[in-house]
Amino acid sequence: MAQSLVPAVQYLRMSTDHQQYSLDNQADAIARYAEAHGFLIVKTFCDEAKSGLSVKRRNGLKQLLGETVDGHAEFKAILVYDVSRWGRFQDADEAAHYEFLCKSAGAPVYYCAEAFSGETGFSATLLKALKRTMAGEYSRELSARVRAGQKRLAMLGYKLGGAAPYGLRRMLLDSSGRPKQVLALGEYKSLVTERVIFVPGPQHETVVVQRIFHEFTEEQQSMHAIARRLNSEGVAYLRGAKWSAATIRRVLRHSAYMGTQVWGRTSSILSRPRTQVPSYQWVTCASAFEPIISKDVFHRAQCVFSSFPHNQTDEEMLERLRGVLNEHGKLSAKIIHGSHVCPSVNTIKSRFGSLNNMYARLGLPTSNSPSTSLRAKRQILRANLIRSILEAFPDQLKVYKRGSRFRALLMYRRTRLLISVLLATCMPRQDGKLRWFFRSPRCERKRPTIVGLLNESNTIIDRLLVFQDIPFRKTKVPADSEWLQSGIPLTRLCDLVDIVHEIRRNTTRPF
């Protein structure tokens, strides 16, 4: 009586390393193995021209693993040509892990071209582990050889992949180094002995490149201004796209325009995440191409970039500020904003934390900017007030912050009602009467608001009031104002929730 055949699937993978691993060769070898060992191939999973370094982008293997682990597969075995076709994983345990998942689901993996195929003893296990390690090591050695070859070609000035930037074209060279043709977008060399270099593109594009460098270095135009002018004149970027500051920057930073080939700025060896390579490890070939602009012009453009505030050290930025300080005799946000030498106020705050910190680094008293000092004090008082309220209602209130650009608010946990917290600065009039300056963010004006009125020296909170909302954004309110008198006094923090409930009951507008 004939023995029934065991249903099995075959997994085929071919990269670009050896013809012996072609899909047809693998399928023929697996078919002979299946016939000799009583397997019936019912389905094929295939990854053509896919690297075996990881499961990523190997849809065939991912589909195979999914159907196997799902537990409803009709096959009882997986046939693979050899260990390397299963994968050249850099961690041998990863290959073993995927194989174990299949075995646990009732579909063991058989390597048809290996001597240990179908065996489960100690020697077979040891040999299989060795083969997995050798498969990964092969990829590492091959990667090192390929990178060494690429480095040699880059040092000779040849272009290694990638599209040509604006104003340049890719020229195909034959094995003797003679020009063959200009490669269009999407065209590549067909022979291993052929090479590619950059050549100047159409004249109307090279003129635009020269103009960009001139306006940036000689006319001191910003990248945004250059892009706007090109777009307004109908000058198109690559493939008809519009110019932007990013594309202008890409032109100004590309060393190929002065005829220099730079290779190896980034690395993604063995399918690892792309990383930046230190500049001293870059491969550079000067005078590799016919230049569009001179090296002197290119280096002047790089000097302009190095003078940008975000490229300066703290001391370089402070040195510029000292020059403005010596010129005006003092420093303020207004003076800094009006200077073409100083970085912006926002840049200074981002670098030093605040203007006061910058003043301290320059040896100036922090009172040089009283408004900044007062703002910092208000922020501390507001934070302390919010903390005190939370301590009074730990189970009923919590802090809510919409994002980094927004201030913290209070949220009533049960109804998610948002409550604003506002401090009003005291600004006495010349006749001695008190008034308070209110500045309420637009997004908080329609919410119940706790207002802290500061004392005359603006050092402590004099009293607290609760309002249904703030009907204005920015104004000065005198002490005898009818609106100010309408606020509900908050003499005890523990009364806050009751006061907010009372406000909601007395208004028909939903919060």
Q: Report whether 34 contacts 8 (CB < 8 A).
A: yes
pLDDT at 124: 79
Domains with residue ranges and CATH for the chain: 6-140 (3.40.50.1390), 168-306 (3.90.1750.20), 310-368 (no CATH), 373-505 (3.40.1350)
Residue 337 reports pLDDT greater than 50? yes
Overall pTM surpassing 0.85 (yes/no): no
pLDDT reported for residue 29: 92
Listed residue (321, 347, 319) closest to 332, CA to CA: 321
Report pLDDT digits (tens) over 65-106. 999 998 778 899 999 999 989 988 888 888 999 999 999 999
How far is the C-alpha of 131 from the C-alpha of 80, rounded, in Å?
Answer: 14
Residue 245 to residue 230: CA distance in whole angstroms: 11
Cβ of 289: how many Cβ atoms within 10 Å?
Answer: 21
Crossing angle for the helix pair 295-306 and 245-253, to the nearest 10 degrees: 130
Query: What is the pairing mode between strands 266-267 and 275-276?
Result: antiparallel
**Pair 325, 362: CB distance under 8 Å:** yes
Task: In whole angstroms, give the CA distance from residue 351 to residue 164.
Answer: 37
Quick check: helix, strand or coil at residue 350? Answer: helix
The tokens describing 346, both together, are 């926002």
Query: Residue 18: pLDDT above 60?
Result: no
Report residue 172: phi and psi, to 5°: -85, 130
How does the average pLDDT of the chain come out, rounded?
86
Q: What pLDDT digit, counting tens, does each position of 379-425 carry? A: 888 989 999 999 989 889 999 988 777 888 999 988 889 999 999 99
First-last CA distance in the chain: 84
Task: State residue 350's pLDDT score.
Answer: 79
Q: DSSP assignment, residue 45? A: E
Listed ranges 236-240, 337-341, 368-372, 493-497; the one with the highest mean pLDDT: 236-240
- The larger pLDDT score, comparing residue 377 to residue 234, is at 234
Report whether pLDDT(508) > 70.
Answer: no
Residue 1, pLDDT score:
37
Residue 402 and residue 123: Cα distance in Å, rounded? 62
